[in-house]
Structure 1
């Protein structure tokens, strides 16, 4: 007699927590405010693309018991190529996340400002300190539980706000099922996909799956986690788009960011909508403040051959440096445009490279019967083409060509 395993959220929830950050909240809000429900299909598409890549990443981690960074290091034999890849990962993941970490902490601060009667320059330090204390414990299980809790908080907060704004259900389902690209919206379509399909999540997922599961027989659990958690993250993004569409599209109101959305909801839908939006933004900022340093540490430790133990000194040094830079950026209100542009260019190059590498390594003999099927390869190649387009857009936007 076999016992049926009870499902529990796991590493894929970390991925959802990572891609639902303040940047995603802003992008989704602007998509809804400017184009209504018309671009919701793009999020559905991005969730499917993310699930394809994250399944490969999870399978790689569980079968090889190594993260993506370690697999890259093992697969690339030429020293100069390996050094080039290390430099690219450092530029895109480590430097990029250092800068974006400031936005994560600022987002959490904006949400907190609407929930408590005080705000000040010390709030980023407190939020950074909270994230640091959680990561310093060196317990994957603790990090996982905290992030699952934040994902569930985001789900309740953003879905409650969505319900309060009373969406147009006919327009919503049309936007989900009928792809359309309104005039001037192509860059927003790319942005919506780009906020969900991100390279550092592939490092985060492979390493966290290797931490949680230790046998290929557990792959079904890893896949079940993906099929639940990633769509849940997509549902949160959809709720944000629909909220902005209900509140702003076709009306004499404009927003420039997530904070504007929360404040403008109050006169339209009451204090409850503002509170739920603030809770969601706080959870989104704090969750990304945990996952960005963690993913960077996994990525760089892997390609450099360091230990990926959360208690290892070098591992801690990497995430602590990124977290500290984020606190400084958020506290001083800095906008290091040149560094952000550099990170965008590096990220634009890294995303297609990592996507192609992932498909390639998942066809290697070392995976045995767990290598990609022909169906998985076709889907992976399609996503790789998308990654190339996203990368080209990121580079073009960074240089002002768009």
Structure 2
């Protein structure tokens, strides 16, 4: 006879497992890129760009549902479906664009992690022999060794706990900021200044939420989950929960930065400028908490990035995702080593990271258009073709993605 406590434990584990893809989405999206984009947006523009966060979460929900349904009904992953339906050249173009996004993200994230860690070391310790490249090498060697030995599960859990503490701190800080602001809520939405980087920040907010790489991996995770047509309702709830949590945490970060940085006229230009965003709640511990959170968010988002390119190749070729293949191991090492770019060559990691997030809108219109075509093919979807309302939602998503492509392109022109 099963004890009540064990039965409850099993139900909890089963529930968590059924929402596995949602936790992956939240863990991947709410990383260093998201924290950076939201803090910069809040510090420089208040909540004036929160519309971009809301719309990106709203439209990403429909993309998650669409990708999951295509994978479940067809039994094949996204890139494999694209290759069969639209040919190799276009699919390789999408994979190449996603690879650029993966590498640029690793470069930006490791740059931010190294700069924030160095600032903490210089403020909190008397250590003088460390520098950015040494710190970056340490983290890269750690990630590669964890991948090589396969002993990364507990490490990722530990990093996720650190990120969770930081997210909780931002939630608390956002409540305190609104409560103690002593000003109208309308003051949180100032008029946008005429700054050259506004378009890039908007594209970065959308790119970090509607991440092309994350959406492509959604198909792989759904297939590994073993969901069938009877699980379509679970899949929709999973997508909804991931986007609601992503929006709430990201908005909390933006509100915190507005109250602590924007109202104090402290715009963010460097990674170290972000470290005051938790000041009101965490006090003297804010620096350490933010540093631990950024390290956790950075390493826990870089590690999946190391795996995603081999995953995409397996997705495209329809082969087993065997990460022990020599080619895959080599690709993981090369992507990891790209993280040395900023510590060795220099640059502003905050804006390089935001620019890397802003690359995602360049490929999203094509992915959305392909999804629309495939989900309406009777030969592929049979009786599971999408409804009129889903068609309208995806068409609206396509228009939004085209608009964001224009914003991103204009933002890059101004940035460069």
TM-score, with length taken from structure 2: 0.79
Query: Are the equivalent residues in 1 in contact too, given 2:159–2:297 (CA < 8 A)?
Result: no
Query: Are the equivalent residues in 2 in contact too, given 1:106–1:330 (CA < 8 A)?
Result: yes
Query: Are the equivalent residues in 1 in contact too, given 2:79–2:91 (CA < 8 A)?
Result: no
Q: Cα distance, 1:378 vs. partner?
A: 0.7
Cα pair distance change 1:221/1:150, threshold 3 Å: farther
Cα pair distance change 1:390/1:273, threshold 3 Å: same
* CA–CA separation in structure 2 for the residues paired with 1:271 and 1:342: 31
What is the aligned partner in structure 1 of residue 105 from structure 2?
Answer: 100
Cα pair distance change 1:394/1:225, threshold 3 Å: same
Number of residues of Structure 1 aligned to a counterpart in Structure 2: 391
* CA–CA separation in structure 1 for the residues paired with 2:156 and 2:383: 29
Query: Are the equivalent residues in 2 in contact too, given 1:110–1:281 (CA < 8 A)?
Result: no
Q: Does 2:20 correspond to 1:13?
A: no
Deviations 1:90-148 (A, max 9, x none): 1x211332232121122333444437745533222232233334444569977985775
* CA–CA separation in structure 2 for the residues paired with 1:191 and 1:40: 12
Q: Does 2:406 correspond to 1:396?
A: no
Mark the structure with the bigger radius of gyration: 2
* CA–CA separation in structure 2 for the residues paired with 1:146 and 1:384: 38
* CA–CA separation in structure 1 for the residues paired with 2:320 and 2:184: 47
Question: Which residue, out of 90, 95, 110, partners 1:89?
Answer: 95
* CA–CA separation in structure 1 for the residues paired with 2:191 and 2:262: 16
Unmatched tracts of structure 2, length 5 or more: 1-9
What is the aligned partner in structure 1 of residue 335 from structure 2?
Answer: 322
Q: Cα distance, 1:269 vs. partner?
A: 6.2
SS in 2 for 1:31: helix
Deviations 1:46-101 (A, max 9, x none): 21111111121222233334321111112124xxxx224313421x2113322321
What is the aligned partner in structure 1 of residue 369 from structure 2?
Answer: 356
SS in 1 for 2:397: helix
* CA–CA separation in structure 2 for the residues paired with 1:367 and 1:149: 40
What is the aligned partner in structure 2 of residue 385 from structure 1?
Answer: 399
* CA–CA separation in structure 1 for the residues paired with 2:61 and 2:73: 18
What is the aligned partner in structure 1 of residue 37 from structure 2?
Answer: 27
* CA–CA separation in structure 2 for the residues paired with 1:23 and 1:301: 26
What is the aligned partner in structure 1 of residue 245 from structure 2?
Answer: 232
Question: Which residue, out of 112, 122, 134, partners 1:122?
Answer: 134
What is the aligned partner in structure 2 of residue 57 from structure 1?
Answer: 67
Question: Which residue, out of 156, 171, 192, partners 1:159?
Answer: 171
Unmatched tracts of structure 1, length 5 or more: none
* CA–CA separation in structure 2 for the residues paired with 1:24 and 1:383: 21
Query: Are the equivalent residues in 2 in contact too, given 1:57–1:205 (CA < 8 A)?
Result: yes
TM-score, with length taken from structure 1: 0.81
